[in-house]
Structure 1
Amino acid sequence: MTSPAPSDRTSSMDRSYGFVEWFRPGEFERTERILPDILASGARYLRTHLSWAEYLAPGGEAWFDWLMPRLGADIDLLPCIHYTPPSMSRTGRSSGAPHDLKAYADFVDHVLTRYGRHFRHIELWNEPNNLLDWDWREDGDFRLFCEMVGGAAYWAKHRGWKPVLGGPCPFDPYWLNLMGERGVLGVVDAVGFHGFPGTWDSEEGTWGGWDMHLGEMRRILDRHNPEAEVWITETGYSTWRNDEMEQARRFMKALSVPADRLYWYSWADVAPDIAVQEGLWFDPRHYHLGAVTHDNQPKLLARLLKEGGVARLDDVTKLAVPNLASGTAPIVVTGGSGFIGSNLADSFLRDGEDVIILDNLGRPGVDENLAWLMERHGKRVHPVLSDVRDPRGIEGAFDDAKAVFHFAAQTAVTTSLVHPIDDFEANARGTINVLEAVRKAERNTPVIFASTNKVYGSLEDLKMLEHDDRYLPADANIRLNGIGEDRPLDFCTPYGCSKGVADQYVLDYAKSFGIPTAVLRMSCIYGPRQFGTEDQGWVAHFLIRALKGEPISVYGDGKQVRDILHVDDAVAAYRALLGHINLAKGKVFNLGGGTRNAVSVLSVLREIETVTGRTVETGHGDWRAGDQFYFVADTRRLQRDLGWKARIGWRDGVRHLAEWLAEHRFGDHARLVEPRHKVVA
């Protein structure tokens, strides 16, 4: 009989899945780090290799004695037995057939005896029609392979295990039918399939879709062994272009294909100092197939699976629904699902504008902002879920844009110190990609860029006066007005450098190409829809911790001063800049709360205690790199040129954010002390 497709048995929402992960001898720490994360993703299966060559190498037996029980104790394990020991190979390579073909079956028998209690299925070889895994030049008619694997499969089945024939790559129905004619398909319980649609150039001309290829496979199996199952033992999508949303979409698609089991390749990226296969060292696609990076930073796929499994993944991947009518001139907001971006987008949508939200949804929680926008404004919200680091993926979003607000960025100084290259790619190269996409569209579209006060450096040259709860500059003019745009740039930390580079490119595109660009160098913005963390968005982070009754970490002594600005005022500044873009073209403006909203960290903590009615427990850590003792923006240029000014006082703004958090994050107003006066925000 024909095995039913998964859609006949269960929906993709209920589909089980696994991951492929190769563990190399000695990777004890890596194995212990990765395995809990794989389990936390909801995976039921794990495919790994048990290399015949590595087993017989020095230390190999001890390694697999540890690895097989460790993996098999927690997850349904599929070991793939391949790679001939070179000393036993007819070619002297691990891809060659052994001199004694029965030796492979003997090794499989040994594996079953030694480790068989840790798994039910055993995979025989990997990609046997691929020259790098099986040297078919020395076995042109595959008779050696069929004798070797057929005998091993027969013996494994006789002993009570379920053999799986390794999947050909690329898929070759003629090869598979040959396996049937030679009797190999008759002695296996499942056959693997490898397919990476969208990743490998070699598949672009031959890929006919999951249904076509798996249908071919099913028909061949039905001729030779109708009971055999179809397993996707390798599929995946490389994020080498930084298109993590596409990887998540491909995963959801793979869950719906007509196969009996699915293994996603892979859990973790390959470290850049490891050669994947001979001759493939410099192909970046091989190094970015994981759901997490090589140093265990979760990509979108891993994060969503760990947050809520397939249901969470399904919710987010469904957010991108193209609906932009021909001839519409939208406003594009990159990073439009983020804190400031979503507030700005909402303001334009309330005015009846169409808005493209270009976002990679890389930061936890921002998909909630996108869902909120779509619920409020329906079809006038146009999600483009791509990454600004991927020029091919974003260019189309700018074709008909009437204005571009560029917020998409890596936003934390701390992250930039750990991953400076990633920080550069997101902030500097990502900005160039946006500018080039606008230039190619040839519509002379205004571009307004969200820069940062960090481009002025740590301001170490400013002499400071220390007071009981704050630092103030000794310079009376700076105390009165703040830091002006004439302050020399002094990039500090990778974050300051990458944002500073982007800042200067945005200004130069006005000079070099005539594009109407402008820059806002922001101080600390806070308000609703902010997912504050310890690394970025400190006002919201402090309030969230206080409302949870959790302690707050303060880096430095807490006397550092910032001019915090409510997001409604920030939105007004961005809109004013667009409204006066002819005047503002090629200019930079400092944006913050000004001296009226200049507060120390300690004073904000005291206000949070007033608002919440409880004492906040604090601890102090070392000063962070590049932290400024004092930054207050001189906003007089904004006021003079654009008629803008901050309207929301910081105490009212903090209470407004606290009320929003209490309602939307905690569902409870009772935690807050009633204000002495009405809050206007």
Structure 2
Amino acid sequence: MIEAAMIWNEPNNKSHWDPELDPDWVAFGQMASLAGQAIRAEAPNLLRVLGGISPIDPVFISKLRARGVLDHVDVVAVHGFPLDWNLWPIHEWPERLKEIQAVTDLPVWVSEVGVSTFGAEEVQEFGLQRTADLLIGRVPRIHWYSLYDLPRSWEATTRHREAEGSSYYRHFYMGLLREDGSPKLAMSHFNRYTPDMGICQWFHYEDHRLDDAVRWLRDLGVRHLRTGLSWADSFRPNALDWFDRQMKALEEFDVTVTFCFTPEHRGLAPHHTSPPQVPEEFAEFCATMVRRYAA
């Protein structure tokens, strides 16, 4: 069911890790190392992936390597959105990968890449085809973000929300499917690139889209899926029931499961981006999930 466990998500992005509380990522490095050790103890053959970085920053990877963090993972991952948020053109993908490959001997995955339809669906249609041309055959895993648009009634996981202007609203239009489940233009091309290209789809707690998502993934020929199990959600009532249902529904796919999000009451600050008060607690959450779904 699970082919890999990813330790956090975009740790060098302030929407996912608070740099004011951990300005040099010392606490993150300790937490990630402990998590990597805990995962290895439960499932020695399970791939451990360092949370996909955004922006793509070789200095950040070098910093973690110098602290020994990369000794406790098997893969590093990057996220890229050159047609929406990054300050580099889409044709530079090979160069961006080489920057990371130059500072580590570990395999490099692209665990999120996508294009918003905020401006026009034709932009996503072009972006999908160009991304496939540039990445397939260059990296072992590619996860397209995402299957569904984010419902407008939900909030995007970002720090400044509407103050970001159009950058914030682009979060809501990353899907191959609209919020109502109807396909966009790019959807008609996606099965040309499976199974080489997978999907990244985050499922919220008791997400109503789960069963329909499985049908779409199956019909598209998707093999590799990336999703998440939230440490914060693990404190909700009946959390394990939801986790069991989610993972059971996804068992036909090769799943990379991302462990992230600090519970408010267990952080140095009451926010999901905060370093935990006790980093061993995050490691134990990772171990518990691996024991339940992978070991």
- 1:65 is paired with a residue whose SS is helix
Map of 2:167 onto structure 1 = none
Map of 1:178 onto structure 2 = 185
Letter in 2 for 1:232: R
What pairs with 1:329-408 in structure 2 (closer than 5 Å)? Answer: none
2:7–2:32: 8 Å Cα contact kept in structure 1?
A: no
Residues in 2 aligned to 1:192 and 1:114: alpha-carbon distance in whole angstroms: 26
The offset of 1:252, in angstroms, is 3.5
Residues in 2 aligned to 1:116 and 1:229: alpha-carbon distance in whole angstroms: 27
The offset of 1:46, in angstroms, is 2.8
Letter in 2 for 1:101: I
Letter in 1 for 2:278: N
**Which structure has the greater CA radius of gyration?**
1
Residues in 1 aligned to 2:88 and 2:4: alpha-carbon distance in whole angstroms: 37
Residues in 2 aligned to 1:98 and 1:150: alpha-carbon distance in whole angstroms: 20
Residues in 1 aligned to 2:268 and 2:81: alpha-carbon distance in whole angstroms: 23
2:52–2:78: 8 Å Cα contact kept in structure 1?
A: yes
1:162–1:189: 8 Å Cα contact kept in structure 2?
A: yes
| Distance change in 2, residues 1:232/1:101 (3 Å) | closer
Residues in 2 aligned to 1:83 and 1:308: alpha-carbon distance in whole angstroms: 30
Residues in 2 aligned to 1:112 and 1:211: alpha-carbon distance in whole angstroms: 36
- 1:186 is paired with a residue whose SS is coil
Map of 1:114 onto structure 2 = 102
1:190–1:229: 8 Å Cα contact kept in structure 2?
A: yes
Letter in 2 for 1:246: N
Map of 1:34 onto structure 2 = 31
2:132–2:193: 8 Å Cα contact kept in structure 1?
A: no
Question: 1:258-312 deviations in whole A, cap 9, x for unaligned?
Answer: 2311413416457576xxxxxxxxxx8xx3599xx7222666x86476479625x
The offset of 1:28, in angstroms, is 3.6
Map of 1:125 onto structure 2 = 113
Letter in 2 for 1:119: P
- 1:174 is paired with a residue whose SS is coil
1:194–1:234: 8 Å Cα contact kept in structure 2?
A: yes
The structure with the largest helix share of the pair is 1
What pairs with 1:444-523 in structure 2 (closer than 5 Å)? Answer: none
Identical counterparts, % of pairs: 7
- 1:195 is paired with a residue whose SS is coil
Question: 1:11-57 deviations in whole A, cap 9, x for unaligned?
Answer: xxxx55524413237544223311233121447433523223x63xx
Letter in 2 for 1:50: I
| Distance change in 2, residues 1:113/1:156 (3 Å) | farther
| Distance change in 2, residues 1:98/1:76 (3 Å) | same
Unaligned runs of 5+ in 1: 1-5, 7-14, 56-60, 90-94, 129-133, 223-227, 274-283, 315-681
Letter in 2 for 1:211: D
1:146–1:179: 8 Å Cα contact kept in structure 2?
A: yes
- TM normalised by structure 1 equals 0.30
1:235–1:265: 8 Å Cα contact kept in structure 2?
A: yes
1:102–1:148: 8 Å Cα contact kept in structure 2?
A: no
Q: CA RMSD in A?
A: 4.2
Letter in 2 for 1:310: R
Letter in 1 for 2:277: D
Letter in 1 for 2:5: G
- 2:31 is paired with a residue whose SS is helix
1:233–1:262: 8 Å Cα contact kept in structure 2?
A: yes
- TM normalised by structure 2 equals 0.62
Residues in 2 aligned to 1:179 and 1:47: alpha-carbon distance in whole angstroms: 29
Map of 2:291 onto structure 1 = 310
| Distance change in 2, residues 1:121/1:82 (3 Å) | closer
- The structure with higher relative contact order (CA 8 Å, sep 6+) is 2
Indicate yes or no: 2:88 matched with 1:102.
no
